[in-house]
């Protein structure tokens, strides 16, 4: 009888843990509502920037899975975004495919490319893997995205002019309906964020983190390194591909300048700066990446963009010294301690 009672006690959830999860859910919903309302009164150019911020946040979210959970480095996330964007644009503009179906195709193509790029990760890691992904980015940026041989896919040097599409009842046609585009993208980011958090807590997520902590130990415990490394690259590329699928509707056109290596670098830099292991940090990183140059140009029109890069570099150096887990990592850890003091949750470090 006592063993049965003990077994039942083990299955009962702790009220503190439940209240902690409930508090996080309420905070997340509150932040989502606030994020949806803030751009309503903004100027059109800031609404347009807000839509771009969510696309960049989705691209950075792909690094949370790959770098934050699995410990693999990629400097070709913008390539995955571009592959999806070009695939969607070709299908919609050239072959009149419905946008939702074209978006699914773009994400699938990005997933397949991610798995292919992940093959070197089976033998490489760290700086060597980073160099390989730089090579992938340079090949696509300098050849596939630029060469006229692939104009049937890229639309040539001028790219594609994307027509307006309707998603969930909202018209998306670049600058003209930027607020609608922002709302749709915000909802998609929220869904992806929930999926990524659930992935972290799943069996696959535990295997991902085991690989990040020690590949040798993970293999000893029976983790299939080949399967889960390739899966991580595929999932990461697919998430980036979701952002790429909406480049056309958000901007109104698709061209190679958006998918260069010099976009992949800021993705990783902002991810590390804000906290590459944490899902909310992706949203903050996307916002900073999109809004900081726009705000500087708006209020300080004479300032050079080089100052933004300089400030980013200095912030990254200071952050790596003082807060290795990133800005969100430190904030979340402090919030967890405060929550413990007021009786919400347990002090298990920074929440996701």
pLDDT in tens, 111-131: 999 999 999 888 887 888 889
36 C-beta neighbours (distance < 10 Å), count? 15
User: pLDDT above 90 covers what percent of the chain?
Assistant: 32
Provide the whole-model pTM. 0.86
> How far apart, in whole angstroms, are the C-alpha atoms of residue 164 and residue 171?
7
Domain 27-341 classification at class level = mainly alpha
pLDDT of 262: 79
Report pLDDT digits (tens) over 281-334: 899 889 888 887 777 776 766 666 666 667 777 777 777 777 777 777 777 776
Cα within 13 Å of Cα(88), Cβ side: 34
In terms of phi and psi (left: phi > 0; alpha: psi -120 to 50; beta: otherwise), the region of 320 is alpha
Measured distance CA(252)–CA(348) in Å, rounded: 45
Instruction: Give the helix/strand (H/E) hosting 161.
Output: strand 160-161
Q: What is the DSSP string of 118-142?
A: HGGGGT--THHHHHHHHHHHHHIII
pLDDT at residue 109 greater than cutoff 90: yes
* CB within 8 Å of 90: residues ≥ 6 apart: 152, 153, 154, 155, 160
Domain borders along the chain are: 27-341
pLDDT of residue 16: 46
Distance of alpha carbon 243 from its chain centroid, rounded?
Answer: 8
Helix 203-213 vs helix 225-245: crossing angle, to nearest 10: 110
pLDDT tens digits, residue range 155-187? 888 888 888 887 887 788 777 888 889 999 999
Q: Tell whether the model's pLDDT for residue 14 goes beyond 70.
A: no
Instruction: Note the pLDDT of residue 343.
Output: 57
């Amino acid at each position: 009888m006592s063993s049965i009672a003990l077994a039942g006690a083990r299955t009962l959830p702790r009220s503190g843990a439940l209240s902690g999860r409930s508090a996080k859910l309420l905070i997340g919903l509150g932040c989502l509502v606030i994020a949806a309302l803030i751009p309503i009164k903004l100027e059109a150019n800031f609404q347009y920037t807000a839509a771009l911020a969510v696309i960049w946040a989705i691209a950075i979210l792909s690094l949370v899975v790959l770098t934050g959970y699995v410990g693999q480095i990629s400097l070709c996330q913008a390539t995955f975004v571009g592959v999806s964007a070009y695939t969607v644009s070709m299908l919609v503009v050239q072959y009149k495919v419905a946008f939702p179906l074209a978006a699914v195709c773009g994400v699938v193509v990005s997933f397949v490319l991610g798995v292919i790029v992940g093959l070197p990760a089976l033998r490489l890691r760290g700086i060597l893997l980073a160099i390989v992904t730089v090579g992938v980015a340079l090949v696509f940026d300098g050849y596939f995205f630029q060469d006229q041989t692939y104009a049937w896919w890229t639309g040539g040097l001028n790219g594609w002019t994307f027509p307006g599409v309707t998603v969930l009842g909202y018209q998306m046609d670049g600058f003209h309906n930027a607020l609608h585009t922002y709302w749709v993208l915000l909802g998609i980011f929220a869904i992806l964020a929930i999926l990524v958090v659930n992935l972290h807590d799943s069996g696959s997520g535990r295997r991902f983190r085991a690989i990040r902590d020690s590949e040798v130990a993970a293999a000893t415990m029976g983790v299939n390194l080949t399967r889960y490394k390739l899966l991580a690259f595929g999932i990461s590329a697919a998430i980036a591909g979701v952002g790429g699928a909406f480049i056309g509707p958000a901007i109104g056109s698709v061209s190679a300048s958006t998918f260069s290596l010099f976009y992949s670098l800021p993705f990783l830099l902002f991810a590390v700066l804000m906290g590459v292991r944490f899902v909310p940090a992706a949203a903050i990183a996307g916002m900073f990446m999109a809004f900081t140059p726009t705000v500087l140009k708006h209020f300080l029109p004479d300032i050079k963009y080089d100052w933004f890069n300089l400030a980013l570099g200095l912030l990254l150096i200071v952050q790596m010294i003082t807060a290795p887990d990133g800005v969100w990592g430190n904030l979340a850890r402090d919030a967890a301690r405060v929550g413990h003091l007021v009786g919400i949750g347990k002090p298990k470090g920074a929440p996701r």
